[in-house]
A and B are shown apart, each in its own frame.
Chain A
Amino acid sequence: MKYWFRKTLKHYLMLFPFFFFFTLFFLYPIAQGFSISFYKWDSVNPAIYVQFQNYINLIKSRDFIISFSNILKYISVTVPVGITVAFALALFVNNLKGFAANFFRSSYFVPTMMPLFLAASVWRWMYAPEVGIINTAFAALGLESINWLKNPSVMIFALIIVDIWRSAGWNMVILLAGLKNIPNDYYDAAKVDGANKWQELTHVTIPLLEPVLFFVIAQGFIFALQVFDAPWLLTLSTTQGYGGRLKALLFPVMDMFGRAFGVYKFGEASAYGFLLTALIIVITSILFMLRRKN
């Protein structure tokens, strides 16, 4: 024991500041949030212990069902389409050289760098019925104007377009880095074997890019499940009214935020957070299991 103290204590003392702040700013808030999820608390009155009532109220509430139904619709489209678009862009840029490669790589990354409030303002303008640039183009083609941000049946697609536009550049850069790491020898060997471009893609590129693709897919699911800022800004939501018309863009994080800061039900909001965390863990675990199986 004396030996242990002499030899290793100083190392643990050096690690201590990290563990202290990690505990204080990461673990403690998580644990506190979990604790609050079992109380009815509005920050005004004393907290009342309600066991699992918050979780039960949530699962039975109409908004919870709507938000999870919306998130399933959203991730089933935005993740595969978004990654496909990003992959296509990465393949395109990978074939370019010199100035062209730098230009397109930077251009596709610009939406990622744009502040979201600005991007949302621009897209709201573009989506405006009758006068927005998209509907103006529709009118020129003889098509009817679409109320992108007020028609509940198309609002989710309006959001998906904005999200893919924003995330494609980020995912493209990651996939591009992976493509650059694939040795050309594999492509040379494939050419010798008579493989065409499609066969090169499916038998060389994708298998060798699999670790990076998995990372992008897993990240895509995690980000998509936490979507909040884009629909909030596109629908000009406030804590008094959010999610857009008929709650077509109501998602779990938005509902959680609204319950906390709109109606001051912090217990329910904490319970929501943990349910969502559990869902993210389940989905990520499934992805890892599928990967291991393959």
Chain B
Amino acid sequence: MKKRFHVLLSITILAAFVLASCAPQPLPTELPVAATKAVVPAAATEAPAAEVPAAETKNVTLEFWTFSDYASDVGGDLMKTFISEFEEAHPGVKINMTGKGGDELNTGIVTSKASNTLPDVYMGTTSQGALFTKINAMKNVHDNWMAMPETYRSQFNEEMIGEVTPEENAMYAIPFTGYSTFLYRNLTVLKAAGIDPNEKVETWDAWLAQMKTINEAGYKGMGSFYNDWWDFTNIYSGAATPEEWGIDFANQKTMINPDKYIQTVKFLEAAKAYGTENGDQDQATTDLFLSNKLAFIVTGPWMDPTFKAAKESNSLDYDYVLIPGATPDNKGGVRGTEFIGFSPDSPNFDLAWEFATYICDEPQLTRWGQALGRFNSNNAAIAKVENSLLQITYEAAVSSLFERPPHFVDAYPGNYYQVLQDNLAQITAGEFTPEEGAEDLIKQLNDTIVNQ
């Protein structure tokens, strides 16, 4: 009996190994861009701007992934409203929205493509576009886009359309929203330190002088920008041009300018003495700002609701300006754009396309802009929104650096920014001088690109 049990167990384990002996299956081969033809809808009807196009009744569930902040709070409420409106106009259609954090969303797209479970429609950032197209997770929607009425297409921001259209006849998504960062200033702290808020700060030297004055008055200047590549880039952008950022994939090298890197690091080292060790994005830094102990925070429009609520309770007086650059002709900041992409394997693509074009249409993005104060791809919608946040976001975008340029060319090595963060940590810990750090950084980044 014991022997037979052991035999049975052995057979079971052997069966498991036999099943596993097959090599892991690759994803379907990526089709050349030019050869990919999107399915053109049979009849491209002109949809009235404020109405959802009518649809035949069929029981379909669309899987829709979006960012967690677009699935919760104000953004989530609005997105659910759009979904309800669409479902009402399409009886039998259900849209299952899932909110995911940025990291989780990116990883989720890759792993779901590998397991053939991509959502029908999803949001992503253009900085990940190259990765998603490389794994064939993004449908070329150029023909669908061109089949849309001219009155619809002409609403959209040409530059943002260009970001998702890397070459002729290849458009991988509909651009949705965008952001850029700027400098929030605590006016209470500035005034208490004897600084006139109307006094313009045009250079890093002038900014340092202000931070010194603030520190001498018993307050703190700003948070630490060494903790995260994104924090650092907000400041580096004030010295560098777009040609000094990103990856030159053709020549397999980083485009970071070592001299500008050194200049930025030296500025941050000097600013450290007048600020807090808490990271710029840390909750503790936000608390210092809200409790009138910190003068400056570099962040985006998503923080404005928090600051606005504090202002309304009379505990905070603030404004926002562009991030000072090293020279008067440059400003700091990071920018990014988000898109709506489509699974190339979805059996419900037509419906997914209809849904996406609906939420990107002017009435919906007008509501979006009014509720969230963030810029989006629909110029017609933006023209109707009056919000000073939008104004500064547009101004900041002019000199901000993109997160991971160039878009839709090649995927960044997964550990590219880890190398930058490690290098910053080594400089701030005293292991490297800024000059040694810059030299090591360029070498390490180039090795990372080549060995991807």
Nearest-Cβ distance from residue B289 to partner chain A, whole angstroms:
11
Contact assessment for B134 and A44 in the assembled complex, using a CB-CB cutoff below 8 Å: yes
Q: Give chain B interface residues in 168-227, CB to chain A under 8 Å.
A: 224, 227
Question: Chain B contacts of A266 at CB under 8 A?
Answer: 24
Question: Chain B contacts of A264 at CB under 8 A?
Answer: 110, 414
A52 adjacent to chain B (CB < 8 Å): no
Contact assessment for A47 and B227 in the assembled complex, using a CB-CB cutoff below 8 Å: no
Question: Chain B contacts of A178 at CB under 8 A?
Answer: none
Question: Chain A contacts of B25 at CB under 8 A?
Answer: 47
Q: Which bracket fits the contact residues of A?
A: 35 or more
Contact assessment for A263 and B415 in the assembled complex, using a CB-CB cutoff below 8 Å: yes
Question: Chain A contacts of B287 at CB under 8 A?
Answer: 131
Residue of B whose beta carbon sits closest to that of A44: B135
Give the residue among B4, B27, B278, B416 with the most A Cβ atoms within 10 A. Answer: B278
Set B22, B23, B413: member contacting A49, Cβ < 8 A:
B23
Alpha-carbon separation in the docked complex, A10 to B404 (Å): 62
Given contacts A34-B20, A263-B414, contact A130 B426 (CB under 8 A): no
Contact assessment for B429 and A246 in the assembled complex, using a CB-CB cutoff below 8 Å: yes
Contact assessment for B20 and A43 in the assembled complex, using a CB-CB cutoff below 8 Å: no
A205 adjacent to chain B (CB < 8 Å): no
Contact assessment for B1 and A239 in the assembled complex, using a CB-CB cutoff below 8 Å: no
B410 adjacent to chain A (CB < 8 Å): no
Interface with A: B52-60, B91-99, B327-335, B417-425, which one? B417-425
Given contacts A125-B284, A150-B227, contact A246 B277 (CB under 8 A): no
Residue of B whose beta carbon sits closest to that of A127: B284
Contact assessment for B417 and A261 in the assembled complex, using a CB-CB cutoff below 8 Å: no
B50 adjacent to chain A (CB < 8 Å): no
Question: Chain A contacts of B12 at CB under 8 A?
Answer: 19, 22-23, 27
A262 adjacent to chain B (CB < 8 Å): yes
Contact assessment for B23 and A35 in the assembled complex, using a CB-CB cutoff below 8 Å: yes
Question: Chain A contacts of B288 at CB under 8 A?
Answer: 131
Give the residue among B4, B227, B414 with the most A Cβ atoms within 10 A. Answer: B414
Q: Kindly supply a per-residue 1/0 record for chain A positions 131-155, scoring 1 wherever the CB is within 8 Å of any chain B CB and 0 otherwise.
A: 1100000000000010100101000
B43 adjacent to chain A (CB < 8 Å): no
Set A28, A238, A245: member contacting B20, Cβ < 8 A:
A28
Set B19, B26, B414, B421: member contacting A239, Cβ < 8 A:
B414
Alpha-carbon separation in the docked complex, A132 to B282 (Å): 12
Given contacts A8-B1, A131-B284, A263-B414, contact A239 B107 (CB under 8 A): yes
Given contacts A47-B24, A240-B418, contact A27 B16 (CB under 8 A): yes
Set B16, B20, B24, B111: member contacting A41, Cβ < 8 A:
B24
Residue of A whose beta carbon sits closest to that of B288: A131
Contact assessment for B415 and A262 in the assembled complex, using a CB-CB cutoff below 8 Å: yes
Contact assessment for A128 and B24 in the assembled complex, using a CB-CB cutoff below 8 Å: no
Question: Chain B contacts of A121 at CB under 8 A?
Answer: 283
B114 adjacent to chain A (CB < 8 Å): yes
Give the residue among A34, A125, A129, A258 with the most B Cβ atoms within 10 A. Answer: A129
Alpha-carbon separation in the docked complex, A145 to B227 (Å): 18
A99 adjacent to chain B (CB < 8 Å): no
Question: Chain B contacts of A12 at CB under 8 A?
Answer: 8
Nearest-Cβ distance from residue B110 to partner chain A, whole angstroms:
7
Nearest-Cβ distance from residue B451 to partner chain A, whole angstroms:
10
Q: Kindly supply a per-residue 1/0 record for chain B positions 360-399, scoring 1 wherever the CB is within 8 Å of any chain A CB and 0 otherwise.
A: 0000000000000000000000000000000000000000
Contact assessment for A39 and B24 in the assembled complex, using a CB-CB cutoff below 8 Å: yes
Contact assessment for A247 and B110 in the assembled complex, using a CB-CB cutoff below 8 Å: no
Give the residue among B4, B22, B111, B277 with the most A Cβ atoms within 10 A. Answer: B277
Contact assessment for B103 and A32 in the assembled complex, using a CB-CB cutoff below 8 Å: no
Give the residue among B20, B283, B416 with the most A Cβ atoms within 10 A. Answer: B20
Nearest-Cβ distance from residue A80 to partner chain B, whole angstroms:
29
Q: Kindly supply a per-residue 1/0 record for chain A positions 1-35, scoring 1 wherever the CB is within 8 Å of any chain B CB and 0 otherwise.
A: 00010001000100000010011000110111011
Give the residue among A36, A125, A241 with the most B Cβ atoms within 10 A. Answer: A241
Could you pull out 6 A-B pairs where Cβ atoms are within 8 angstroms? A31-B19, A36-B24, A43-B27, A239-B107, A240-B416, A258-B415
- Which positions in B face A, CB cutoff 8 Å? 1, 4, 8-9, 12-13, 15-17, 19-27, 102-103, 106-107, 110-111, 113-114, 134-135, 224, 227-229, 276-279, 282-284, 287-288, 413-418, 421-422, 425-426, 429
Apart from A35-B23, A240-B418, what are 12 other A-B pairs with CB-CB below 8 Å? A4-B4, A35-B24, A43-B111, A44-B135, A47-B26, A121-B283, A124-B283, A129-B278, A130-B284, A261-B107, A261-B111, A264-B110
Top 10 A-B pairs, shortest CB-CB distance: A263-B414, A128-B284, A31-B20, A27-B16, A43-B114, A32-B20, A262-B414, A129-B277, A46-B26, A245-B425
